Structure 1
Amino acid sequence: MSKKTRYTAAATVAVAATLGGTIAAGSVAGAATAAQPDATKVTTVEGPVRGAVSGDVRTFQGIPYAAPPIGDLRWKSPRPVTPWSAPLDARKPGSACPQPADQPIAVPGTNGEDCLYLNVTTPAKTGKRLPVIVWIHGGSFVYGDGATYKAAKLASRGKAVVVTVNYRLGVFGFLSHPGLRAPANLGLQDQQAALGWVRRNAAAFGGDARNVTIMGQSGGGYSVCAQLASPGARGLFDKAIVQSAGCVGEDGSMSLKQAHANGIATAKALGWDGAADADAYLRSAKTADLVKATAAGHGGYRPVVDGKVLPLAPARALATGRFNRVPVLHGSTHDEMSGPVGAEETRTGKPLTAAGYATEVTKVFGDDAAAVLAEYPAGSHGSPGATLSAVLTDSAWSAPAFDTQRVLARHVPVYAYDFADADAPYFKGVPRPKSFSLGTGHMVDLAYLFENDLFEPLNERQARLSDTVISYWSRFARTGRPNGHGTPAWRRFTPRDAYVQKLSSGKDGIGRTDFAADHHYTFWTSLRK
């Protein structure tokens, strides 16, 4: 595709342990009875932890799954945690990993680079072994943490053990510099270490260590794409859920050459003059200074095709069938780019005009702008702002999503969706544009899956959709198929039948949608030729 500038999607062996508590023999009125086990205490392979019971879930937060990557372990592959014997207080989350504070999704850390923690939410009454869902948060590989995504509803209604994970971000997790004697993709290695912890410890929390689903959105979704392609993740998970990330799109990875160029730029931003030993210089830098030098925003860091952790780009791995073959649930939101377009309107106080729309399209698509304007006239989606949102969504998110589903379906079972709630909740306190509806924008689908303070509360109709989505997701985690009693049928996406399930609230909101036609897939495909 020829353009002056290219728009890309912004921002990736069970060891059973017994439940804590002892069964003690006692005597009441001459009869022997058994004491109830302490539901707040669990013994992991590494040591006992004490969490909390709230309502119908148990939560265990801030459990270390690897040694703190500090001191000599900065930019080292994750190492085993030192075991402990006294119960670890797991009632509060561990520190988020260091990150810039320039985005609303940023989570301030409290303990420097000591941040490799995970959180477990499980039904208070587990019964038989439950499927395990491991959540890899998004944030462009720069922002976020696991604890922000509270999983009480997903665990209780979905009857699943939910694990949310921290992993090293930005300069600490995805820096590559030709002079830095360190492996690439440390953030991906952290995720694999967390998955190893899950295999060892899932049974202790009532989970089935042989039924693990990795799940991620945006940067977390690209992480799942990378783990599908990584030999180091083989055998660590059994299913995958990818939300708002096209594994065969442009943002799933970067070359080692690109990563080195970014690493050199980061070192120079830190003050490196190019003459000093880069390894010594970077390792001696303070955490806060490295955060300041981090390429903030949404394009500086990606999984790196390093020939080791990631031998092939996810797109290449999937196209050639050289990936960890598991069932995949994959999709995107119908209006991925409505938020940024709407934010520009609220910032200026003025709706986008037809002339302004043409200017934006020309800026993004260059020589292809005339074709885009012909395919998407300014008022074709109700207003120029809504039309620009559709153009940016379809080109950078929807087309790569459909590409991904088509490629995956050649090798593994695929269930595809388009999250299309017309009036989804939005970010708390953030004004909406007046000239068009935001629909379901990027990240907003997470309001239906997690309790996250970023989002407005769900209304009654949205809560019912949330129940359905959680049922679909948890059934997929349990069986590899989202279908079950009480929810509309959801067929597989196959090479012969590109079935995509629309997910929306209201009457007839769930069912088949012509995703390719709705998002102009044929048009975007034609521009690549």
Structure 2
Amino acid sequence: MAMIGTLIAVAVFLKTVSATSLGVVYTEGGMVQGENIRLGYRRHMDIFRGVPFGDIPGRFEKPKPHPGWDGIMKTTEFKNRCLQLNLLMSDTRGDEDCLYLNIWVPHGRSVSTNLPVMVWIYGGAFLVGGSMGANFLDNYLYSGQEIAERGNVIVVTFGYRVGTLGFLSTGDSSMPGNYGLWDQQAAIAWVHRNIRSFGGDPDNITIFGESAGGASVSFQTLTPHNKGLFKRAISQSGVALCPWAVNRNPRRFAEEVALRVNCPTDSRMAACLKMTDPVVLTMAGTLSLTGSPDNPLVNNLVLSPVIDGDFLPDEPDKLFHNAAEIDYMAGVNDMDGHLFTGLDVPSVNSQLVDTPIEDVKRLLASFTKDKGRLGFDNAYSTYTLDWGSSPNRETIKKTVVAIETDYIFLIPTQAALYLHASNSTTGRTYSYLFSQPNRMGGLISPYPSWMGADHADDLQYVFGKPFTTPLGYWPSHRDVSGYMIAYWTNFAKTGDPNKGELSVPATWPEFTNSGHKFLEINSRMDSSYVRQKQRLRYVHFWTSILPNLPDIISE
């Protein structure tokens, strides 16, 4: 009998020894313990959800360090997202106590040490979003598990303030704005100081993000406040130069919000706003998400970062010297603008209804209005050059999508790549175009059959969803997901997307100011998918021809 008891004790002991885990981890605030899961033979993962990196932030103030805690904090549940509007903008969700991060640490036969670290910044127009992303049947979009397991890297996601509480600014020192960017910076700095305890290499951190998160990544590379905190950066569908990424007249919207919550708009405005209920403030930051060709939706995204003289001491295009030593990868989806076009020109999604050429003209006129008739004429001839005398329905619809994709995402991203490459000393530059067709295109869906990759279509592949939920995808989707995880994690490890533990289907060349090479990414790709001079005619129009036309003097 004693023999059986001994055997059981030994078995229990071996089981605990063989479950590779960090156990209790010491951080600057105190001890944390996450959840350990088994991935396969001799493969485990520690997951920490809800680790504090900052205290409950003061209203319209920079984040403060967390005061710490006694005992062991169980970090097994995601914390609330930051207080924000719901998607219908009819109510709020979340909490002001939201500065927490989540960490995924993969282990092989022994506990990991010195792993590269990838820190994710979510998008959501600086208005909404959470560190765990959308949730479907307990399958969170931003779960770092697939990237961490397949790429053998640590993945970190975190919350930051959005909407009114994150970005409202009076345009002066009373409420300078950019609180959400400071939260991001505080999270990155916390990771740099603490990640060694989790088996990470603080000298090999990559930040990556999509949409407003991609622009945030870009801002974090440009601010002088991040020197030495991270080594590489990836911007997906968003950079600091995007027309929606900087609000150059923040005071106007601050006054609108003040009027909505019964605050004065004079020198007492900031003090009154700071005392207003946070839910009321958040509701007052509702933006109009309706668009038209004459007033495109992108112009309504006004809760965004500002040039505050502190986080952003100057215009973003003047700050690229700060990113000279950072390896940078950036790209867009081939129909990134489609999401916006569907709201501005709804006829693009109808298989049966023509999109009037008049709508193309109105849209171009609104994007070039500072340059008046001359700007419009140049734009119209650029976009209709290949139309011939009677363009078909599909040609016109695709042109509308291309106009918004170019203006909102692609041209600013090309400009950022160009500035990064021309300012870099040791930092390398890589450009991509993601073109895996949207899964809803054609058949009985609301989307046309010619759909390419819409805004945010890349997220499911980067986060490995075709592996997590295989029944929802085809083998080709697993191919493209595998390619993206390989390029992204190789880049995080070595600064070169081709070099690392994972093999890739094509050698991705660096982007240089003479070659302008880029990689087109989709499930059919091979070495022929290395391309050059992406949409050069349109890049030339938006970056060279249009800015050099005279501005019309507004009355």
For the aligned pair, the TM-score class normalised by the smaller chain equals 0.7 to 0.9
In the alignment, which residue of structure 1 is the partner of 2:447? 433
Indicate which of 165, 175, 183 corresponds to 1:172: 165
Secondary structure of 1:407 counterpart: helix
Secondary structure of 1:168 counterpart: coil
Distance (Å, rounded) in 2 between the aligned partners of 1:392 and 1:438: 14
Secondary structure of 1:153 counterpart: helix
The offset of 1:28, in angstroms, is 7.2
In the alignment, which residue of structure 1 is the partner of 2:235? 242
Indicate which of 89, 105, 109 corresponds to 2:93: 109
Deviations 1:247-282 (A, max 9, x none): 334333234xx1223222221222213368323321
Indicate which of 512, 528, 532 corresponds to 1:494: 512
2:406 is the counterpart of 1:400: no
- Kept in 2, the 8 Å contact 1:500–1:513? The answer is yes
- Kept in 1, the 8 Å contact 2:360–2:400? The answer is no
- Kept in 2, the 8 Å contact 1:490–1:511? The answer is no
Indicate which of 438, 443, 459 corresponds to 1:424: 438
In the alignment, which residue of structure 2 is the partner of 1:409? 421
Deviations 1:93-151 (A, max 9, x none): 111111112459x99634x3111111111214353421101111111111101111112
In the alignment, which residue of structure 1 is the partner of 2:251? 260
Give 1:374's aligned amino acid. Answer: S
In the alignment, which residue of structure 2 is the partner of 1:301? 303
Secondary structure of 1:312 counterpart: coil
Secondary structure of 1:121 counterpart: strand
The offset of 1:221, in angstroms, is 1.4
Larger deviation, residues 152-161 vs 342-351: 342-351
The offset of 1:198, in angstroms, is 0.4
Secondary structure of 1:439 counterpart: coil
- Kept in 2, the 8 Å contact 1:47–1:85? The answer is yes
Q: 1:285 to 1:247 in 2, by over 3 A?
A: closer
User: TM-score, structure 1 length as denominator?
Assistant: 0.84
Distance (Å, rounded) in 2 between the aligned partners of 1:347 and 1:448: 24
Distance (Å, rounded) in 2 between the aligned partners of 1:508 and 1:362: 36
Distance (Å, rounded) in 1 between the aligned partners of 2:31 and 2:37: 20
Deviations 1:222-244 (A, max 9, x none): 11121122121122111111111
Indicate which of 78, 81, 91 corresponds to 1:93: 78
2:213 is the counterpart of 1:212: no
Deviations 1:197-235 (A, max 9, x none): 101221222211111111111111111121122121122
The offset of 1:390, in angstroms, is 1.1
Q: 1:361 to 1:262 in 2, by over 3 A?
A: closer
The offset of 1:323, in angstroms, is 4.2
User: Structure 1: any 5+ residue segments left out of the alignment?
Assistant: 1-25
Distance (Å, rounded) in 1 between the aligned partners of 2:338 and 2:56: 39
Q: 1:231 to 1:507 in 2, by over 3 A?
A: closer
Q: 1:275 to 1:482 in 2, by over 3 A?
A: closer
Q: 1:277 to 1:521 in 2, by over 3 A?
A: closer
Secondary structure of 1:305 counterpart: coil
Aligned Cα RMSD in Å? 3.1
State percent identity of aligned pairs: 27
Q: 1:349 to 1:335 in 2, by over 3 A?
A: closer
Indicate which of 115, 118, 126 corresponds to 1:141: 126
- 1:310-325 to structure 2, matched below 5 A, reads 310-318=312-320, 321-323=321-323, 325=325
2:452 is the counterpart of 1:464: no
- Kept in 1, the 8 Å contact 2:511–2:518? The answer is yes
User: TM-score, structure 2 length as denominator?
Assistant: 0.80
Distance (Å, rounded) in 2 between the aligned partners of 1:522 and 1:285: 47
Distance (Å, rounded) in 1 between the aligned partners of 2:219 and 2:146: 28
Deviations 1:7-52 (A, max 9, x none): xxxxxxxxxxxxxxxxxxx9978xx989637555433222222222
- Kept in 2, the 8 Å contact 1:500–1:514? The answer is yes
Q: 1:433 to 1:342 in 2, by over 3 A?
A: farther
Deviations 1:294-338 (A, max 9, x none): 1435511222111112111221112xx244631101111111112
Larger deviation, residues 161-170 vs 436-445: 436-445
Distance (Å, rounded) in 1 between the aligned partners of 2:106 and 2:277: 41
Distance (Å, rounded) in 2 between the aligned partners of 1:347 and 1:388: 11
Q: 1:324 to 1:146 in 2, by over 3 A?
A: farther
In the alignment, which residue of structure 2 is the partner of 1:277? 268
The offset of 1:353, in angstroms, is 2.5
Give 1:317's aligned amino acid. Answer: L
In the alignment, which residue of structure 2 is the partner of 1:335? 335
The offset of 1:472, in angstroms, is 0.6
Distance (Å, rounded) in 2 between the aligned partners of 1:230 and 1:42: 31
Secondary structure of 1:472 counterpart: helix
- The runs of at least 4 aligned residues of structure 1 exceeding 4 Å deviation read 26-29, 32-35, 37-40, 346-350
Give 1:331's aligned amino acid. Answer: G
2:25 is the counterpart of 1:42: yes
Distance (Å, rounded) in 2 between the aligned partners of 1:313 and 1:100: 29
Distance (Å, rounded) in 1 between the aligned partners of 2:475 and 2:302: 40
Distance (Å, rounded) in 1 between the aligned partners of 2:183 and 2:333: 28
Q: 1:107 to 1:156 in 2, by over 3 A?
A: farther
Deviations 1:415-455 (A, max 9, x none): 1111112x23359xx94333x422111111111112679x9
Q: 1:89 to 1:128 in 2, by over 3 A?
A: closer
Secondary structure of 2:49 counterpart: strand
Distance (Å, rounded) in 2 between the aligned partners of 1:158 and 1:275: 54
In the alignment, which residue of structure 2 is the partner of 1:20? none
In the alignment, which residue of structure 1 is the partner of 2:492? 477
The offset of 1:511, in angstroms, is 2.4
Larger deviation, residues 125-134 vs 136-145: 125-134
Distance (Å, rounded) in 1 between the aligned partners of 2:464 and 2:84: 22
Q: 1:496 to 1:41 in 2, by over 3 A?
A: same
Distance (Å, rounded) in 1 between the aligned partners of 2:524 and 2:49: 36
- Kept in 2, the 8 Å contact 1:175–1:259? The answer is yes
- Kept in 2, the 8 Å contact 1:230–1:324? The answer is no
Distance (Å, rounded) in 1 between the aligned partners of 2:173 and 2:262: 15
User: Structure 2: any 5+ residue segments left out of the alignment?
Assistant: 1-6, 40-44, 134-141, 290-299, 549-555
The offset of 1:351, in angstroms, is 3.3
Give 2:83's aligned amino acid. Answer: P
The structure showing larger relative contact order (alpha-carbon pairs under 8 Å, at least 6 residues apart) is 1
Give 1:400's aligned amino acid. Answer: P
Distance (Å, rounded) in 1 between the aligned partners of 2:37 and 2:9: 29
Secondary structure of 2:519 counterpart: strand
In the alignment, which residue of structure 1 is the partner of 2:136? none
Secondary structure of 1:332 counterpart: strand
- Kept in 2, the 8 Å contact 1:138–1:220? The answer is yes
Q: 1:384 to 1:177 in 2, by over 3 A?
A: same
Distance (Å, rounded) in 1 between the aligned partners of 2:334 and 2:351: 25
Q: 1:426 to 1:133 in 2, by over 3 A?
A: farther
- Kept in 1, the 8 Å contact 2:147–2:464? The answer is no
2:148 is the counterpart of 1:130: no
In the alignment, which residue of structure 2 is the partner of 1:3? none
